[in-house]
Amino acid sequence: MSLKLAVLASGSGTNFQAMVDAVRRGALDADIRLVICNRPGAKVIERAKAAGIVCAVMDHKLWPSREAYDLAVADAILKSGADTVALAGYMRMLTAGFLNAFPHRVVNVHPALLPSFPGIHGAADAQAWGVKITGCTVHLVDEIMDHGEVIIQAAVPAIAGEPLDDLQSRIHAQEHRIYPQALQWLAEDRIKMDEDGRSLHLLPGSRPLAAPAPGVLVSPPLEEGF
Which residues are catalytically annotated?
110
Angle between helices 164-187 and 122-129 (to 10 degrees): 130
Q: Tell me what percent of the chain is helix, strand and coil, each rounded to the nearest 5.
A: 35, 25, 40
Q: How many residues does the chain have?
A: 226
Where is the binding site, in residues? 13-15, 66, 108
Which residues contribute to the annotated binding site for (6R)-10-formyltetrahydrofolate? 66, 108
Other Cβ atoms within 10 Å of 43 Cβ, number: 17
Which residues of 141-224 form beta strands (DSSP E)?
150-157, 191-193, 200-202, 217-219
Interior CA angle at 149 toward 38 and 65, to 5°? 30
Provide the CB-side half-sphere exposure for 104 (13 A, CA).
13
